[in-house]
Amino acid sequence: MDSAAPGRGCPLSYRYGAAALSRQSSLDVETLWVVGGLYGNPFALERLLALYEREPGPKALVFNGDFHWFDIEKNQFRAIDDAVHGHRATRGNVETELARPAHGAGCGCAYPEWVDEATVLRSNRIIERLGATARAFPQSLERLAALPMHLVATVGGERVAVVHGDADSLAGWGFSQEALATDAGRAAASAAFEGAQARIFASSHSCLPVLQSFAGGRVIANNGAAGMPNFRGTSFGLATRISVAPSGAALYGVAAATLFVEAVPLEYDPAAWARRFVAQWPAGSDAHRSYYERIANGPRYGMHQAVRPEAALAA
Ligand SMILES: [Fe+2]
């Protein structure tokens, strides 16, 4: 663990480096769904599974972390956990801090400076509260601890590196929309493709979606959140779909060589989700103060901001 305050730092065990992703793939499919940030939303999960069920051909569904977060009610926690483990899954910082809490890591979010201190403190308390629920399920904790931090898939012959944060760390913010808005951030991300020998990175963690193209038909697809709205005035989550064929349901998408990389909306019942959320996190609670406004109205972010065409890298 570095010397940062809880919720700000990145435990050393979170770090792997892009070269760790250059290994052989463990999946070979024509369609891959990558779903980060479900955050314990059972309605988004139900919608996701219905959409995925309709996919033809060889396929896989990967939950790339933070599938738990708001689900402090025990039956809810167990239902989410069991459903996720019916598919492929990798650990997010939430699952890692539930299963193997690192001393002083807090939520393990490694929040950057643009996230305010009160939010960080509330997240640290949310993981403590969720941990109290999770400890009722020791077998689930063992199962979460055994999940990998990342996964490499082959989709239509192309390598896809599935991470939670970025190419270097479980809780890295290098694939956030904020980092990818800077020349330095895009240059660092571009270099990571070489290290991982990947055409596509699929990530999540930073909680806002971005679909960033790079030279040579390479793409970073960050789905934002599957279990919360991602754009102002909307009420659906997002999943990443990578396939040899386009989806009829995509909100937006780009090409990566011969593949289609798309954001698919998860249109759950927003009123039902708001009720379920408030039943666990009433007004005044930490999660309500941090997230209710977003759950009700969406973040201050627009769809036009998410799709980023290839930009020349600064020399
Ligand atoms: Fe995360």
What tens digit of pLDDT does each residue of 44-73 get?
999 999 999 999 999 999 999 999 999 999
Per-residue pLDDT of the chain (315 residues; tens, 9 = 90+): 445 788 877 788 899 999 999 999 999 999 999 999 999 999 999 999 999 999 999 999 999 999 999 999 999 999 999 999 999 999 999 999 999 887 778 888 888 888 899 999 999 999 999 999 999 999 999 999 999 999 999 999 999 999 999 999 999 999 999 999 999 999 999 999 999 999 999 999 999 999 999 999 999 999 999 999 999 999 999 999 999 999 999 999 999 999 999 999 999 999 999 999 999 999 999 999 999 999 999 999 999 999 999 976 654
Name the residue type at position 119: T
CA of 64 to the centre of ligand 1 (A): 9
The neighbourhood of ligand 1, an ion, using CB within 5 A, equals 66, 92-93, 205
CA of 76 to the centre of ligand 1 (A): 20
* DSSP helix/strand/coil, 247: coil
Is residue 95 packed enough to be buried (19+ CB in 10 Å), middle (13-18) or exposed (0-12)? Answer: buried
CA of 57 to the centre of ligand 1 (A): 30
What single DSSP character describes residue 14?
A: G
Longest dimension (CA), the chain: 54
CA separation for the pair 72, 45 (Å, rounded): 16
CA separation for the pair 302, 234 (Å, rounded): 10
CA of 207 to the centre of ligand 1 (A): 8
CA of 8 to the centre of ligand 1 (A): 12
